[in-house]
Chain A
């Protein structure tokens, strides 16, 4: 057996050392595949060695849980079959902590493995938190939701906390079976908008005996999003208003126009070279023109109100006032339309040392 293991290790070393650089990049999945092959060949020691090495590589690379889980379940089974039960328990517990929702395939693994995994999962009290990376909610409506996935039935306490650990908002306390959705309305305990920009979503798991079983924690970055208010519409420029009082120009034009025209009528015979023209008809026209001029002066006297202009200006002022009222109403709505942007960070999990 040991000769076979040594031979296989030597072969692996030769393949890794002698392979071209290009081919080396394609062998990243080899330890896992070789480990699974060794497991299937019942060479559990070789399988455990290869799988451990592969898991160490993935852990160092901070690979996601989905990539580490298959190696862990094969490693746990290999350790179990080579008589290392404690090691298998530790591997399965690590697997449960990594992904509480994982279940080994019962067509692949025998009941010995699955029953042991189930017992570990039942003993291990852990929760993972699943939230969208970025969310916008309207405070007060309970729009921010987080899914909790539990490894087994347990009691959890879900709270939001300040960065220093002080309680910020209590969300839930009670049992959880498989999963649970908790809601946060975006407000603090006093019903106000969050005064801080960063809180922690903490899920504390407890065993049925009440002792602390684990803590999962997710940092949340908060940002208030408030739409800009609209600027007030500028008042109409003075140049847009019509004069509401008559100026003196039309009145003077009527007066002086009448005087000039009357003078032209009176002087017309002399202009055409006739000095003996009768004066009666001329006087009549001069009088009519003069009266018209004086009448025009009084009709257009300076300072006289001009009702059409006053009305037109009032219509313009009313239109501006309506725009101001509309903007004011819109701004009140915009001030109330505050949204809370929530960005989720990297979740962390902690287990008590006693476990």
Chain B
């Protein structure tokens, strides 16, 4: 519900902002998510779908990205209770060359577990390379990020985290409609390797863009 309101708000404000030289974009996202935790006592794996939205405001070479998804993941291949997953990010990016964008921001994820909410907050640096590869309609991109700081309320000490996303964006030539399909993966290492957290999945989005 929150995600829908966010997307709706971005879409409504897009027209007014475009007139001021600001290029807005908004999209609805559906993602399959698989959460895998490896600890010395064993490996747990949960899977499910999350839904949300994302919006972008671009002004010249600089853009602000906001995203929010939430959903529920259940044990993968086993029975048992699942838990809610909420994830959001706020990133500022700058296009350095036409095909390369560098960015930084905060990326947070929380799991609503029976024993309390587990929060993962990463401060990230990101780099994205993108380019057209099918006419002017389809753009491919590869993005990598690495955490330069983290705030995690788990017993293990944070070691490092990094991730990436690769996919393609299809833009219709006669309408401001964009569609996206991508594969994303985050990998965090804690406690000197005693705990490994991996979240990956397929992201499908559809939205409007005036860029």
Interface residue from B38, B144, B163, B202 paired with A285 (Cβ < 8 Å): B202
B34 within 8 A of A: yes
Whole-angstrom distance between the Cβ of B93 and the nearest chain A Cβ: 19
Q: Which of B165, B170, B198 contacts A276 (CB 8 A)?
A: B198
- CB-CB under 8 A for A268 and B166, given A261-B140, A277-B185, A282-B183: yes
Residues of A within 8 A of B80 (CB): none
Interface flags, B90-123, vs A, CB<8A=1, else 0: 0000000000000000000000000000000000
Of the listed stretches B10-18, B21-29, B130-138, chain A binds B130-138
A284 and B202 contact, CB distance less than 8 A: yes
CB of B197 to closest CB in A, whole Å: 10
Cα A274 to Cα B170 in complex, Å, equals 29
Contact in complex: B133, A265 (CB < 8 Å): no
A285 in contact with B140 given A277-B198, A278-B200, A299-B134 (CB within 8 Å): no
Contact (Cβ within 8 A) B164 A272: yes
Of residues A274, A277, A295, which shows the largest number of chain B Cβ atoms within 10 Å of its Cβ? A274
Please report whether the interface of chain A is mostly helix, strand, loop or mixed according to DSSP: helix
Whether the pair A254, B134 counts as a contact (CB closer than 8 A) is yes
CB distance from A18 to the nearest CB of B (A): 102
Once the chains are docked, how many angstroms separate the CA of A261 from the CA of B169? Answer: 12
B residues in contact with A273, CB < 8 Å: 162, 187, 189
- Encoded as 1 (CB less than 8 Å from any A CB) or 0, chain B from 34 to 70 comes to 1010100000000000000000000000000000000
Given A261-B166, A272-B144, A281 contacting B200 (CB threshold 8 A)? yes
How many of chain A's residues have a CB under 8 angstroms from any CB in B?
Answer: 32
What is the CA–CA distance of A281 and B185 in the complex, to the nearest angstrom?
10
Q: Are A276 and B36 in contact (CB under 8 A)?
A: yes
Cβ 8 A contact of A264, one of B38, B135, B142, B186: B142
How far, in angstroms, from A272 to B198 measured CA to CA in the complex?
10
Q: Given the complex, which residues of A lie within 8 Å of B133, measured CB to CB? A: 253-254, 256-258, 261, 293, 296
Check A285–B181 contact: CB distance below 8 A.
yes
Q: Is B71 in the interface zone, CB < 8 Å from A?
A: no
B131 / chain A contacts, CB cutoff of 8 Å? 257
User: Complex: how many Å from CA A284 to CA B200?
Assistant: 13
Roughly how many angstroms separate A282 CA and B201 CA in the complex, as a whole number? 8
- Which A residues are in CB contact (< 8 Å) with B82? none
A292 in contact with B144 (CB, 8 Å) = no
* Neighbour of A292 across the interface among B36, B138, B164, CB < 8 A: B138
Q: Is B88 an interface residue (CB 8 A)?
A: no
Min CB gap B177→A, angstroms? 16
Given known A-B contacts A261-B142, A265-B167, A265-B183, A281 and B32 have beta carbons under 8 A apart? yes
Interchain CB contact under 8 A, A272 and B134: no
User: B181 and A271: CB pair below 8 A?
Assistant: no
Determine the distance from Cα of A268 to Cα of B143 in the docked complex, in whole angstroms.
10
User: A104 contacts which chain B residues (CB < 8 A)?
Assistant: none
CB distance from A185 to the nearest CB of B (A): 68
Q: How far is the CA of A268 from the CA of B184 in the complex (A)?
A: 8
Contacts of B166 in A (CB 8 A): 261, 264-265, 268, 285
Q: A257-B134, A273-B189, A277-B185 are in contact. List 7 more A-B contacts (CB 8 A).
A: A253-B133, A261-B142, A268-B165, A268-B183, A282-B200, A286-B183, A296-B134
* Cβ-closest 9 pairs across A and B: A257-B133, A296-B134, A285-B183, A261-B140, A281-B202, A274-B187, A254-B134, A265-B166, A264-B166
Chain B interface residues toward A at CB < 8 A: 32, 34, 36, 38, 131, 133-135, 138, 140, 142, 144, 162-168, 170, 181-183, 185-187, 189, 196, 198, 200-202
A-B contact pairs, 30 of them (CB 8 A): A253-B134, A254-B133, A256-B133, A257-B131, A258-B140, A260-B140, A261-B168, A264-B142, A264-B166, A268-B185, A271-B164, A272-B162, A273-B187, A274-B185, A274-B187, A276-B36, A276-B198, A277-B200, A278-B34, A281-B32, A281-B200, A281-B202, A285-B183, A288-B168, A289-B181, A292-B134, A292-B138, A292-B168, A292-B170, A300-B135
Give residues in A with beta carbon < 8 Å to B: 250, 253-254, 256-258, 260-261, 264-265, 268-269, 271-274, 276-278, 281-282, 284-286, 288-289, 292-293, 295-296, 299-300
